[in-house]
Structure 1
Amino acid sequence: MDTGLSDHSSLEGIYSDDQQARTRFILRPLQYDLLDSNSSRMPHAALEIGRTEIDLASGTSKLHELELFNVTNLLARRIPLPSLPDMAWHASSGFASSRLDCSHCLDGHATFLAGKSFRLGHRSLPFIMTGGQLRSERHQEGPAAPMLQLGLLYDWEPGQRSLLQITHADGLKGEESRRTQWLLEHRMAVGQQLDLRARWEGDDNAQELGLGVSWYF
């Protein structure tokens, strides 16, 4: 059963191939993401404001990500409407670790992507978007980076959805300015206020596995 509530907190156990095991606390005061149900919001869209991720390990805490806003609309209409725009898009801004193998490498960014989604049957929604990112250079090269994103959203059954996403950014300053990230995530709703999530994520430097529980309030 899916929930229409918007406030969301979660705890996630994480294991990475370089930083070992840790716990991540995630708070999303106003949120729904691409894995949430379509029943109580705009279908195949995401809206997150103030998402905060804090890593807890060995008695210390570190900010992993602070997302000021993240808006995505894949515009997957069952019936095309010529009078309305038919462009998938994404816009976000915040601070996040610029590489998975560095827990203190926070950089700021502002990102905008646009493209198309293509409905395949009732379950699959592949999409492709391109655009760019303005970013700080504390731990990465290149203040402006063209970007390409490929993705697939798949509905297994009501309450279960998967997301596969690959993103490449090139800061136009050689190999050190380039980064490819990939994400495979699955959500399973287990009640009105509870769901389970599994995540496998990687970039050019490291990979990490996450398994978490989320509750809505």
Structure 2
Amino acid sequence: MAAYYISLMVEKNPDGPYNLSGYCFGGIVAYEMAKQLQSMGKKVNKLILFDTVAFDYRERHSQFEKIKLRLKIILAQVNFLLNEPEGFLKNKKRYLKRKMDLVFSILKLKPNPQSVNTSTTYLNKVSKNNTYLLNKYKIVPYHGTLYLFRAKTRETYIEEPKFYGWTSFVKKVKVINIGGHHYIILKKPEILKEIAEKIQIVLDEKNQ
């Protein structure tokens, strides 16, 4: 995936330098693109990740650790509910809707054509494919500065909340705080305006 996107970029701009960014799973893709570009001798100007966590998806926990992790996730979601009740309920509603649409699709049931989102099957396939790729992916060090745009409210448990785990792989991580929570940072106009202004500051910053 990263190699394909790089080929498209290099076709249009063979010499660089390149500014890369990605949100959530897309942040992992942008990170891998930056590493591959460096290995090609290309210059990466800025690498910006939006609320992307450096999970080690390949790590397997013991049963006891899995239980502890699950409890921490539940507590984080309770905190999300208390701080962002509207966002929490919208997320749960969207999650249940996708699950119901998936069940209807598998059983080939369509009780009401307007009640079933035709894109759900596709979205579930994309989500499943992304999870598979993350399970196979191994994060290795990147030689450059990483700019992490971090949402104010966390909707789930993050083991290393300050840098989202990136300092294990990148020596210089700069955190830029933004409003909202993970699911709305690219939807709310006021947050988008904030992000745009802060991105411009990052792009204007001279590389050290």
Structure ranking higher on relative contact order (CA contacts 8 Å, 6+ apart): 2
TM-score, with length taken from structure 1: 0.25
Q: Would you tell me which structure has more helix in proportion to its own residues?
A: 2
TM-score, with length taken from structure 2: 0.26
Between Structure 1 and Structure 2, whose CA radius of gyration is higher?
2
